[in-house]
């Protein structure tokens, strides 16, 4: 397999900037920080290297599509949009304000967001509709749908995989942000998903499993698209919830967080490896 070389420095810089944006959104009302940080590298990779989506083709029917089905990781998407020049950085300051449309779940008032989400298990089917139309039109464009692993509790995800397989949608790629947590608990302690790759295989998909924080592994997997002719593609990206912040990584009670301004300052230092933050703010406010 020939894999083109990657500009690791740019990707890593970009991911760091996006993580800073995510941390910046975790105050004054807060955000779903853990699930956002697990998805940062995936989203940065996809927009930087894989998808044909940019400022000039957002309304062009001949573009690629990304659907963010897990939804609550939207800070990672908006952070990426800022770094790609799709969204003005100053607008992040409007987070949770009626003056703008930047709230806890994605919506199409933000250029680049293909569809609203928040109710889990919806966008696999919406992505199927778009993938079907691309097939009907004879287009070679592709559709990515990012799912949470907790989201896979929803039956409609599995219904969608069955339908995507039946309709041979090899232009559709489901990417699972496999951070092993759902809202309040570890996935394997609540609704175990493993062996996850086997499940997708049994449903007729072509599956790859990678380290979702390794640009090398992500690039190897996505460079092999389409994985198998006539089969929907699944990438299980093993990730760490809260990736980049040891003080919140691997902790079930760091799902939705609303930190003080001081804690945000400390978390930014922690992100740069200079500090271990002691967090005292109330967390896991279930919204």
Partner 1 sequence: MTYEELLTQTALENEKVIVMTAENRALIRNLPNLLGKRFIDTGITEQTLIGAAAGLALRGRTPVVHALASFLTMRAFEFFRTDAGIANLPVKLSGFIPGFLSDANGPTHQAIEDISLMRGIPNVTVFAPADEDDLVKMLPTIWNSAQPAYTRINTRQTNFVHQPFEMGKAEVVSIGTDVTILTYGLLFEQALVAVDILKKEGLSTGLINMRSLKPVDEQAILETAALSDLVVTLEDHFVTGGLYSIVAEVLLKHAKTARVMPMALKDKWFKPALLPQVLQHEGFTGKQIAENILGYKTSYTQSQISLPEFSE
Residues forming contacts to partner 1 in the complex (CB under 8 A) are 61, 108, 114-116, 119, 122-137, 156, 159-160, 162-163, 166-167
Alpha-carbon span 154 to 107, nearest angstrom? 21
- Contacts of 16 by beta carbon, 8 Å cutoff, 6+ apart: 271, 272
Q: Which is nearer to partner 1, 170 or 217 (CB)?
A: 170
CB atoms within 10 A of CB 9: 8
In the complex, the smallest distance separating the C-beta of residue 126 from partner 1, rounded to whole angstroms, is: 4
3-state SS class at 27: strand
Q: Which is nearer to partner 1, 91 or 105 (CB)?
A: 105
In the complex, the smallest distance separating the C-beta of residue 64 from partner 1, rounded to whole angstroms, is: 13
Q: Which is nearer to partner 1, 166 or 285 (CB)?
A: 166
In the complex, the smallest distance separating the C-beta of residue 171 from partner 1, rounded to whole angstroms, is: 12
Q: Give per-residue burial for 41-68: e unless 16+ CB within 10 Å, then b.
A: bbbbbbbbbbbebeeeeeeeeebbbbbb
Indicate the helix (H) or strand (E) that contains 11: helix 8-24
Q: Phi-psi bin for 170: left (phi > 0), alpha (psi -120 to 50), beta?
A: alpha
In the complex, the smallest distance separating the C-beta of residue 130 from partner 1, rounded to whole angstroms, is: 4
Q: Which is nearer to partner 1, 108 or 140 (CB)?
A: 108
In the complex, the smallest distance separating the C-beta of residue 131 from partner 1, rounded to whole angstroms, is: 8
Q: Which is nearer to partner 1, 145 or 218 (CB)?
A: 145
């Amino acid at each position: 397999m020939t894999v083109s070389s990657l500009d690791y420095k740019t990707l890593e810089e970009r991911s760091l900037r996006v993580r800073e944006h995510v941390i910046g959104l975790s105050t004054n009302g807060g955000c779903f920080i853990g699930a956002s940080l697990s998805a940062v590298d995936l989203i940065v990779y996809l927009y930087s290297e894989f998808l044909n989506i940019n400022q000039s083709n957002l309304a062009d029917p001949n573009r690629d599509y990304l659907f963010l089905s897990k939804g609550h990781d939207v800070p990672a998407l908006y952070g990426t949009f800022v770094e790609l020049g799709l969204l003005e950085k100053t607008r992040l300051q409007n987070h949770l304000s009626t003056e703008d449309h930047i709230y806890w779940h994605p919506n199409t008032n933000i250029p680049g967001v293909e569809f609203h989400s928040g109710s889990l298990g919806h966008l696999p089917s919406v992505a199927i509709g778009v993938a079907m139309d691309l097939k009907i039109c004879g287009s070679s464009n592709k559709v990515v749908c990012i799912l949470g692993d907790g989201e896979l509790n929803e039956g409609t995800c599995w219904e969608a995989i069955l339908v995507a397989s039946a309709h041979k949608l090899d232009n559709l790629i489901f990417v699972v942000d496999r951070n092993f947590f759902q809202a309040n608990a570890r996935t394997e302690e609540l609704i175990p998903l493993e062996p996850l790759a086997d499940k997708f295989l049994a449903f007729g998909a072509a599956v790859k499993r990678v380290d979702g924080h390794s640009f090398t592994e992500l690039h190897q997997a996505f460079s092999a698209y389409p994985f198998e002719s006539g089969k929907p593609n699944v990438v299980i990206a093993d990730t760490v919830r809260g990736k980049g912040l040891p003080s919140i990584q691997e902790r079930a009670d760091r799902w939705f967080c609303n930190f003080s301004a001081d804690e945000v300052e400390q978390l930014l230092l922690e992100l740069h490896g200079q500090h271990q933050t002691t967090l005292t703010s109330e967390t896991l406010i279930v919204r």
